[in-house]
Amino acid sequence: MKVLVTVTLKKDVLDPQGKVVRQTLKNMGYNEIENVRQGKYFEIGLNVNDKNKAEKIVQEICNKLLVNTIIENYTINYKE
């Protein structure tokens, strides 16, 4: 099973990298860009067939290592 985890900064957390990317895009002439928030993306190969078990493991690793839940949100997608 393949698991895709996307980690994004929470709404109120300052994202200086995203700001710089947005400014650069503006400098390049893309005036339509309103804002950019930069995040992280993980592709995880999982040796588990049972979806419930997979969910339990992925939730755990997100909370324990992949995500700092004080400042970050995450979404999980499972692909068979």
Contact predicate 74/11, CB 8 Å: no
Burial class, 19, CB count within 10 angstroms (exposed 0-12 / middle 13-18 / buried 19+) = middle
Candidates 16, 27, 43, 79; binder of another protein (CB under 8 A) is 16
Compute and round to an integer the Cα radius of gyration of the chain. Answer: 16
Candidates 27, 35, 65, 79; binder of another protein (CB under 8 A) is 65
Stretch that binds another protein, among 12-20, 26-34, 48-56 (CB under 8 A): 12-20
Residues of this chain that bind another protein (CB under 8 A): 13-14, 16-17, 20, 65-66, 68, 70-71
